[in-house]
Amino acid sequence: MEQQLEIFSAKPKEVRQHNNLIFAPFAMGSVESKIFISMLERINRTDTEFPLWRIPLSEILPRKDGDSYEHLKKAAVALKSQVIDIAPVDPMNPNRKRFRLRSIVDKCDHDSGTGFLLCQFHPDVKEYLLNLIDNYTPADLATLKMFKDERTVRFYWMLRARFRYEESRMAKTSTVSETVKIQITVEECRNCLLKDIKSYPNPKDIKRHILEKVVKPEIDKTDCAFEFGDPVKQGNKTLAWTFIRRSGSVTVLPLEPLRISAKLIDALEGMPLDSKGIRRISDALCMDTDGFEASEAFVWFLLHKLTTSKDKDKIASPGGQLIRWIEDRKFKTEFLKKTKTPSSSSTPSPEIVTYSETELIEMHQNAMKRKRTSLDFAAWVKEIYLNNGFERQKIDNVWYVVKEK
């Protein structure tokens, strides 16, 4: 249980991979990719060996259903059995035949009854993940986690690696250009994006159905936003695609964290209320206007009022109605009367607000999934709770953040 304290320790906002691992020919499924990123996230810059990490299942499976654990098992089996060829390609002799077979993951076990996955990288990949000095590519953790498709994650790493190499080469040759052009071969794309490399035998289909339809819309929100250049061809055969990144591209990070609980967010989405409306409510709760200190209790009060209203079936937009009520002074007055503070003659016991480690993990994953925070878990806990009067306490071997109102 002491290992649970790890989640409160500082974690890097940036993760790294050796370029030979980035371009190694293997593809991952959705759950495999999430496990892999969660493991990368836990690597410390000073590590010389891979520890055994305990990863909360809520990081991997935000929504649990009947098939969740079956998907988890299949992903664990795939990672455990994955043997890849990490032999680098020699630019001067690309047809040179050689191989370096490496296993990626040594352990990936479900710790039954605890809600954790026990994971450890294989010693084979130490040189590709630990103590990296050169020939590696870093990536922003928040950017990786905001991608919805695992193929985007894989391709983003490839783009960053090639763009960084080309920028370095241009800098050494004093080349000045507004754009950066790179090439990624059809074979590299096929090996890294397709679980079945025999699917999409026509390169045009890979570009049309994966690169253009799935990958590009997500990557265009990052520092690797690109346009397609002229393909590299040999006769009618496409050998590689050209990707052009304009200088000055800036990563578009998710919004700052919503300051309302995951439970309230779920209730608001069920109305339904879109992300813009939820953001508006969250912002209202952070303001102190007209002497009224808004709180989640006020929103729950209005939700109850709305759902029990005799005219609820006549309300065309419950979400819009709720926002209007939040901004209406008469409802604030009604709420304050119903929750009037006891007189000084009585001595109410202080209200204790607590969130367990499991609840915090769930709320953070909810915020990450809905792109409401760019912070890693430790930084998020610090900003939202520890910087606002909460303290860490260990009760019956479980970590909580606690605040006395």
Mean residue pLDDT across the chain: 78
CA nearest to 278, candidates 328, 320, 312: 320
User: Kindly report the CA angle at 239 between 233 and 245, in degrees rounded to 5?
Assistant: 90
Report d(CA 207, CA 224) in Å as an integer. Answer: 17
- The secondary structure element, H or E, covering residue 363 is helix 357-369
Give the residues across from 44 on adjacent strands: none
pLDDT at 4: 35
Supply the DSSP symbol for 103: E
Task: Answer for the pair 120, 53: CB distance below 8 angstroms, yes or no.
Answer: yes
Length, in residues, of the chain: 405
pLDDT in tens, 276-314: 667 667 766 654 444 444 567 778 888 888 877 777 677
Lowest mean pLDDT among 206-210, 267-271, 372-376, 383-387: 267-271
pLDDT at 293: 45
pLDDT in tens, 21-39: 999 988 999 999 999 999 9
Lowest mean pLDDT among 37-46, 113-122, 307-316: 307-316
Taking the complete model, does pTM exceed 0.85, yes or no?
no
Report d(CA 164, CA 182) in Å as an integer. Answer: 10
Lowest mean pLDDT among 135-139, 169-173, 183-187, 199-203: 169-173
Supply the DSSP symbol for 343: P
Lowest mean pLDDT among 25-39, 100-114, 258-272, 324-338: 258-272
Report, as an integer, the average pLDDT of 90-102: 71
Assign 230 to helix, strand or coil: coil
Q: For residue 218, name the pLDDT band (cuts at 50, 70, 90).
A: very high
Supply the DSSP symbol for 280: H
Q: For residue 379, name the pLDDT band (cuts at 50, 70, 90).
A: confident
Assign 107 to helix, strand or coil: strand
Query: What's at 229, amino acid-wise?
Result: G
Report d(CA 84, CA 313) in Å as an integer. Answer: 58
Lowest mean pLDDT among 13-17, 128-132, 236-240, 317-321: 317-321
pLDDT in tens, 43-65: 987 788 999 998 888 888 866 66
Report, as an integer, the average pLDDT of 87-114: 78
pLDDT at 342: 40
